[in-house]
């Protein structure tokens, strides 16, 4: 870098404004606290010409992604951000979105995540198997988003939207507790933050908001709190801890929660972790 500018890293300004908390137990706050106290800025020269990034076959930069949409003739595209394997409720959001758009971009975040999140290489196997078996491949694209998670909830939802706009999408999915962690944000705060904008005019992207979704045994379908009259006792929604226990024990979570092909990849991973 040719350093043109140097300025103090004002963490006391950044932390509460980005994260709405200054609690060091918040993983995004902890990350900032670990960073240096000085920022530098300037032009960057790339000297490594042989660098082969992870997931090279799925790493499309924004301009190439926009070209890919144009080549497919997609005028409207919905993007799905995720840091998890795609389970049945996520699958529902993406397919409902695709009912309204020409194409779907599954755009998993593969940068740094919390140590207890599932690693990106395992998730990539899950996404590929899922798309091969359950999605219309003419209407679905998978590429990676090389970005670190901040777990900043609502403000990160806006960041995620702006970045995907640069990738050329017209619609962006925001479900329950988007980019949230622990109990720092309300379930729908990441949707409410968009109320202050005139959309799609201000940001150029339509936000597709989804309420909490899960399989309902009585409806025999994935439903949301908006579409289903039945209470939580009708839902198949094992806790994260329960799912991990099942996987470690070599057992698939219910098919209503996760497709068997995904469960099998996750079982292999969970068991390799010892």
Place of tokens 């300004």: 13
Asked if 84 is an active-site residue, the reply is yes
Tokens of 14: 């950044």
Site for ligand ADX in 137-176 (CB under 6 A): 173-176
Residue whose Cβ sits closest to ligand ADX = 175
Tokens of 83: 């840091």
Instruction: List the one residue from 60, 79, 82, 105 that touches ligand ADX (CB under 6 A).
Output: 82
Place of tokens 């929604």: 237
Q: Does 84 bind ligand ADX (CB under 6 A)?
A: yes
Catalytic residue among 20, 59, 66, 84: 84
CB < 8 Å & 24+ apart, contacts of 115-123: 117/83, 117/84, 117/149, 118/84, 118/85, 118/266, 118/269, 119/269, 120/54, 120/55, 120/144, 121/54, 121/55, 122/85, 122/265, 122/266, 122/269, 123/82, 123/83, 123/84, 123/85
Minimum distance, C-beta of residue 1 to ligand ADX, in the bound complex (Å):
30
Task: Compare residues 73 and 240 and give the one whose CB is closer to ligand ADX.
Answer: 240
Minimum distance, C-beta of residue 225 to ligand ADX, in the bound complex (Å):
9
Which residue stretch of 19-27, 87-95, 139-147, 260-268 sits at the interface with ligand ADX (rule: CB under 6 A)?
Answer: 87-95
Task: Compare residues 31 and 84 and give the one whose CB is closer to ligand ADX.
Answer: 84
Instruction: List the one residue from 169, 179, 246, 270 that touches ligand ADX (CB under 6 A).
Output: 179
Please tell me the distance from the alpha carbon of residue 246 to that of residue 250, in angstroms, as a whole number: 6
Give the residue numbers annotated as catalytic, written as ranges: 83-84
């Amino acid at each position: 870098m040719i350093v043109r500018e140097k300025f103090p890293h004002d963490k006391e300004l950044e932390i509460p404004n980005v994260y709405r908390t200054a609690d060091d137990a918040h993983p995004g706050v902890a990350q900032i606290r670990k960073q240096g106290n000085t920022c530098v800025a300037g032009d960057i020269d790339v000297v490594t010409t042989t660098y082969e990034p992870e997931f090279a076959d799925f790493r499309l930069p924004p301009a190439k992604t926009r070209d890919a949409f144009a080549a497919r003739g997609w005028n409207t595209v919905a993007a799905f951000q995720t840091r998890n394997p795609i389970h049945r409720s996520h699958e529902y959001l993406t397919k409902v979105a695709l009912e309204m758009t020409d194409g779907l971009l599954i755009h998993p975040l593969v940068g740094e995540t919390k140590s207890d999140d599932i690693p990106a290489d395992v998730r990539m196997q899950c996404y590929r198997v899922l798309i091969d078996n359950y999605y219309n491949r003419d209407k679905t694209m998978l590429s990676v988003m090389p970005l670190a998670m901040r777990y900043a909830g609502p403000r990160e939802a806006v960041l995620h939207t702006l970045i995907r706009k640069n990738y050329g999408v017209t619609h962006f999915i925001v479900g329950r507790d988007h980019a949230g962690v622990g109990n720092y944000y309300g379930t729908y705060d990441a949707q409410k933050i968009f109320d202050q904008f005139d959309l799609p005019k201000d940001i150029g992207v339509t936000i597709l908001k989804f309420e909490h979704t899960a399989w309902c045994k009585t409806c025999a379908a994935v439903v949301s709190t908006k579409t289903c009259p039945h209470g939580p006792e009708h839902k198949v929604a094992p806790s994260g801890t329960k799912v991990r226990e099942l996987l470690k024990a070599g057992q698939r979570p219910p098919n209503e929660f996760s497709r068997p092909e995904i469960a099998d990849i996750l079982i292999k991973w969970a068991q390799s972790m010892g």
